[in-house]
Each structure stands twice: as structure tokens, then as C-alpha cells.
Chain A
């Protein structure tokens, strides 16, 4: 059975391209805080492992289904959070909520399953 997904539009944009960058699976963070000089998003196709950088979260959604939580990414649309582990999806949801609340810069890694698997919030 396919999980439900959010149906409502987000408050702002739903289309656009996502960024490219290095594909890396790490057990620890490697990035340093962004500087004012950094920014911009390189072009890249969804469907492979890509880093989407310098984004903001402007909506959140979840439902009473097992491990089903999404974030709305400005300029991108709804992105489902990785659902392979209880603690991982809760941690991702908490960081997504933090990003929504603070409007901090978000860099995230999206895999071929189109789910968000790793996230920085600054």
C-alpha cells in the first residue's frame, strides 16, 4: 500500500529544480556553517542522489500513519522524510520543524527514492 502524501499546496512555490553537489553518506556531519558569501543552488536532477542547498522549509505535514512525515521546501515542493527507522524519521521531523520555525538555511540530501535522507539546518 502506498503511503498517503500531503495534498494541500504549500504557502509558496511548488515547482523548480533541485540542486546538485556531492553525494556522500556519512555517519557524522562534515560541513561548516555557511558564510554570507555562500549560497546559490547548482542545477541537478531529482531521481539520483543529490544535495539540495540553501533552501528554506515553509510547511510541514504528517499523518497518523507509520513513519510518514513530509517537509515543504520553498521552490521545490513536498519532500518525504526517510522512513527506514523510527528514531531517524523523528529526528528528521524535529530538524524540519526547527527549520520551519527559524527559517534557517537548509541543505539536504535526496536519494533516488526521492526521500530526504540527511539534513543540515543553520
Chain B
């Protein structure tokens, strides 16, 4: 293994430090140093904290984090919310510094399932589109990595289509998404950063997973289980992941990595509060704007208000969608069909553009 110590030596150090995790051979630990570094890819942007600043801010936050114990649920895990799993499957970024794309997309995919209230929702968005189509304008490449602000802005302003539009492969390449990518794109309503320890836990336990970034040391590549705390090894680089929960009893964040299921705890890891800059700042996805057809659904609720052309339909299993308000006849034609569908309890196929109902079949 390329790191300074072998697994036995590392485990001895972990035990001596009472660090609470186990090292072992993983899908990443046996790679060359160069290949390991390619599994990372977070280079803080101009308006983002440096990795060192994150480490300091996280360490300074430990007291505040301990003070939050008892203020929010003692633990939360989006893989098991009343038996439902809102986290999409583990992906593998391979030998390309695209972690920012994977960490961001994981947070968006989970938010999609949560917003729909449907843990079984088949959502798989194209990390390649975010990284190779949106990313290059702000310097993204397999060798350079990327940073969070343009990734979140890309989801908000441009949108990312489904995986089939541009299947991910782990080498530098030109944008190769399908010609109809725009009509298949998912956008987010907005994003923001969260720094307060209490707010991070509140968001995680009520709204959804968060993207975050931290400093990876060489010992992390050998993580197998337990609550990771840096013990040994030099800095390998910055890395972004998706935080899917926390556990106060263990004092840790629960995270989804993008190194395949052969690394860590089936692709996941737990990391101690305040360690490696993980909880300095996290990135929150506020909601999903959807485009495309929603077939065979039903209108189960209606809403309107004393404002010009402002009416919404509640689609079963999906939620509220606003009716297009371009002009009077568009608004009233659509509203009439929506009300007819509800009156007759008829199935509908609805085309939504960024979450706005633009077309409807009443069947």
C-alpha cells in the first residue's frame, strides 16, 4: 500500500489513539498514490474556505456541536427513515477528480426522493453532465478537480439530465450529453451554505442530506468501519461527499462516499464531529424543479388565491405544481382541465417545465 504504514501498523496506531475505527484493505487503499489522489478532486473556490480554514473552523466548532446534543433527534439516517431509504445507490467516480459532482448530485438525488415522498423513486442524474458540460467554464477537469459554488449554481441555472443522457466514465472528455438533455434536465430551486452546528443537524433531520468537503489524509483510504478520526498519514487532498445523517452517541456524521461499494462500510463512512474540516460549512439543496412528463397521475387537490393567475394542482404522490400563467387563456384552459380531471377522478399525463404545468392530457 502506498501510504506510510501497513494495515497492521495503522490499526495499532488507531488502537493506541483510541480512535474508534478499523483500517483494512479497500478498493482504494491498494492503488498508487497518484491514483488515490485522482479519487479526490475538491479545490476550494475563490469564495470558499481553504482546507486549512475548514479544519480550524471544524475543530473550533466541537464545543458548539456538543451543545446541540439533545436539541435535535439524537440520531438520523436518511437510509432508514421509518424503514424508508431516501439515499440513491453508491457510485464510483473512479480515477477522475470529480468528487464535487458526485457529492452534489447525491444531495440532489436524495432531495428529489424526499420532495416526492417516494423513497423508491428511480432517480439517477448524470454526474458527467455536471462535471464535463457545466464544469469546464469554471476550471473543472479530472486532473484539476472543481469546487462547490459552480456545481450548485450549475444545478440551479442550467440543470442536469438523467444518467442515460451522458453515462459517466472516469476520464477527461468533452461534453457528450444527448441532444435532448435540456428537456430531461433537473434543476434545483436554490441552495445555500450552513455553518451553524445546530442548523446543520436541524437541516439533516428535517430537510435532507447535505454536500460537504473535507481534508483527506492517507489513512482514510484504508477506512473499513467505525468512526473515522485522522490518526496517521500526510494530506492527500480535498474531497467532497454527501452527509446523510449523524449520531450523537457516536459523535459522528454519516456520509456517502463515491468510491464504489468496495470501499469503507459498503461505500459509506462515519467521521467524528469536528474532524478534518467536515463540518465547517455544508451545502444545502433547497428543492427540486422538475421538467418532463409525469404520466398516469391524478389531481387530488387544488389551490388558488386572490392574485393574478395563481393556481396550483396537487398531483398524487408528487406534490403541488403551479399552473402556467403566461396569459389568461393558457391559464384558464389548463385550470379547467385540471379541475375536470379532479371532478372525474381521471388519470392525467402532465408535462411540467421547471415545476410548472404546461400541458395536460385528461384520460
Contact A88-B301, Cβ < 8 Å, known A28-B320, A28-B322, A101-B343: no
CB-CB contacts below 8 Å: A87-122 with B? 87-88, 90-92, 94-95, 97-98, 101-102, 104, 117-122
B309 touches A87 (CB 8 A): yes
Interface centre among A25, A86, A102 (most CB of B within 10 A): A102
A1: interface (CB < 8 Å): no
B300 touches A33 (CB 8 A): yes
Q: How far is the CB of B320 from chain A (nearest CB, A)?
A: 5
* CA gap between A80 and B301 in the complex, in Å: 21
A27 touches B304 (CB 8 A): no
CB-CB contacts below 8 Å: B315-338 with A? 320, 322, 328, 331-332, 335-336
A117 touches B328 (CB 8 A): no
B331 touches A120 (CB 8 A): no
Contact A118-B306, Cβ < 8 Å, known A28-B322, A29-B314, A94-B335: yes
Among A26, A31, A98, A117, contact of B339 (Cβ-Cβ < 8 Å)? A98
A71: interface (CB < 8 Å): no
A120 touches B305 (CB 8 A): no
B308: interface (CB < 8 Å): yes
A35: interface (CB < 8 Å): no
| Chain B residues touching A, range | 20 to 34
Chain A hits for B308, CB < 8 A: 85, 87-88
Chain A hits for B304, CB < 8 A: 88, 91-92, 94-95, 118-119
B306 touches A29 (CB 8 A): no
Chain A hits for B206, CB < 8 A: none
Contact A28-B311, Cβ < 8 Å, known A94-B336, A121-B301: no
A57: interface (CB < 8 Å): no
Among A88, A94, A97, contact of B305 (Cβ-Cβ < 8 Å)? A88
CB-CB contacts below 8 Å: B94-125 with A? none
B259: interface (CB < 8 Å): no
| Chain A residues touching B, range | 20 to 34
CB-CB contacts below 8 Å: A52-101 with B? 82, 84-88, 90-92, 94-95, 97-98, 101
A82 touches B306 (CB 8 A): yes
B62: interface (CB < 8 Å): no
Which residues of B come within 8 Å of A, CB atoms? 300-312, 314, 320, 322, 328, 331-332, 335-336, 339, 342-343
Q: List 27 A-B contacts (CB under 8 A).
A: A27-B307, A28-B322, A29-B303, A31-B303, A33-B301, A84-B306, A85-B307, A85-B308, A87-B309, A87-B331, A88-B306, A90-B332, A91-B304, A91-B309, A91-B310, A91-B335, A94-B336, A95-B302, A95-B311, A97-B339, A98-B302, A98-B339, A101-B343, A117-B306, A118-B303, A121-B342, A122-B300
Which residues of A come within 8 Å of B, CB atoms? 25-29, 31, 33, 82, 84-88, 90-92, 94-95, 97-98, 101-102, 104, 117-122
Beyond the given pairs A27-B310, A88-B304, 14 more chain A to chain B contacts, judged by CB atoms under 8 angstroms and listed by A's residue number, are: A28-B312, A85-B307, A87-B308, A87-B328, A88-B307, A88-B309, A91-B310, A94-B339, A97-B339, A98-B302, A118-B305, A118-B306, A119-B303, A119-B304
